[in-house]
């Protein structure tokens, strides 16, 4: 049942992506000021949204783990954190490609770039921390506490670095930036396949964690015999 859902998600994501790519590359005209490179926004922005959704889900799962002490929540937290990290990386890389064309530089210490990088470092630290702990319940507890700290830190990072400096084009949502409605629709329409892809990736990762727990249990049993 679950496996079929994953396949359905992947197929749906593939169909939608194919359609969106057709619209993005062939139907929509070049943006007046930026030329063809602006199309990267249809992946850049939804990738960031997906990443933050993943980190938010990880925070909720971490709190739930500490309340219920059920390792399934821990598996869910690590699955969505890894997927979130992958999408955050996609966001950073697409942003750098865009910056190279428009600003002429790969990187600048602008507010949004810096905040996203800090987020990425925070959650990369989470994964490294997990690798450093052997025992599953101890790993789950330590990782959950760190994940809660990281999720509380993310908004503070964003505010502080925003005060520090800003060069990024105004964010298109709640930021005063403007965009044509046709672009808007495509932007949201392209979030759907990325979200489906993220869900499928998290599902696969969750299955891996389940298998790993089973393997560890079997190994312990074999040692006991």
Partner 1 sequence: MTAPAGTQPDTAPRVAARARRGFLRSALTIAAKDLRAELRTKEALNASLAFSVVILLLFSFAFDPTVEETRALAGGLLWLVFAFAGALILNRSFARELPNDCLDALIAAPISASALYLGKALANWLLLMAVEAVSLAVFGVFYNAPWTRQWWPLAGVVALGTWALTVVGTLFSALTVNLRLRELMLPLLVYPVLIPALLAAIQLCGPLALGEPLASDMMVWVRLLVGFDLIFTVLALMLAETALVG
Interacting residues toward partner 1 by CB under 8 A? 66, 118, 121-122, 125, 128-129, 132-133, 137-138, 141-142, 144-146, 148-150, 152-153, 156-157, 159-161, 163-164
Nearest CA-CA partner of 196 in 2, 17, 1, 18: 17
Closer to partner 1 by CB, 25 or 121: give it: 121
> From CA 95, how far away is CA 41, in angstroms rounded?
8
The least distance separating partner 1 from the CB of residue 156, rounded to whole angstroms, comes to 5
C-beta neighbour count of 187 within 10 angstroms = 21
Closer to partner 1 by CB, 58 or 150: give it: 150
> From CA 71, how far away is CA 141, in angstroms rounded?
10
> From CA 196, how far away is CA 214, in angstroms rounded?
27
The least distance separating partner 1 from the CB of residue 165, rounded to whole angstroms, comes to 11
Closer to partner 1 by CB, 61 or 200: give it: 61
**Beta strands per DSSP E along the chain:** none
Closer to partner 1 by CB, 147 or 186: give it: 147
Closer to partner 1 by CB, 100 or 165: give it: 165
The least distance separating partner 1 from the CB of residue 48, rounded to whole angstroms, comes to 18
Nearest CA-CA partner of 83 in 203, 209, 198: 198
The least distance separating partner 1 from the CB of residue 220, rounded to whole angstroms, comes to 19
The least distance separating partner 1 from the CB of residue 73, rounded to whole angstroms, comes to 14
The least distance separating partner 1 from the CB of residue 31, rounded to whole angstroms, comes to 34
164: Cβ contacts below 8 Å, ≥ 6 apart:
111, 114
The least distance separating partner 1 from the CB of residue 130, rounded to whole angstroms, comes to 11
Q: At what angle do helices 181-224 and 2-22 cross, to 10 degrees?
A: 150
54: Cβ contacts below 8 Å, ≥ 6 apart:
80, 81, 83, 84, 85, 87, 198, 202
Closer to partner 1 by CB, 147 or 190: give it: 147
Closer to partner 1 by CB, 13 or 116: give it: 116
> From CA 109, how far away is CA 95, in angstroms rounded?
13
């Amino acid at each position: 049942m679950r496996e079929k859902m994953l396949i359905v998600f992947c197929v749906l994501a593939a169909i939608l992506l194919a359609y969106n790519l057709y619209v993005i590359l062939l139907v929509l005209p070049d943006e007046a000021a930026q030329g063809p490179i602006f199309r990267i926004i249809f992946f850049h922005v939804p990738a960031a949204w997906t990443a933050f959704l993943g980190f938010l889900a990880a925070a909720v799962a971490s709190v739930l783990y500490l309340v219920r002490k059920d390792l399934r929540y821990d598996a869910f937290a690590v699955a969505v954190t890894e997927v979130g990290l992958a999408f955050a990386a996609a966001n950073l890389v697409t942003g750098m490609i865009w910056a190279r064309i428009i600003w002429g530089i790969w990187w600048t210490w602008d507010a949004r770039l810096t905040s996203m990088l800090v987020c990425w470092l925070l959650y990369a630290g989470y994964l490294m921390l997990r690798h450093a702990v052997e025992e599953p319940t101890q790993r789950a507890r330590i990782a959950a506490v760190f994940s809660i700290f990281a999720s509380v830190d993310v908004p503070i990072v964003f505010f502080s670095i925003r005060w520090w400096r800003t060069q990024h084009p105004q964010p298109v949502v709640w930021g005063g930036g403007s965009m044509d409605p046709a672009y808007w629709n495509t932007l949201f329409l392209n979030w759907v396949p990325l979200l489906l892809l993220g869900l499928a990736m998290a599902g696969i990762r969750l299955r891996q964690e389940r298998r790993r727990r089973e393997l560890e249990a079997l190994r312990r049993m074999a040692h006991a015999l």
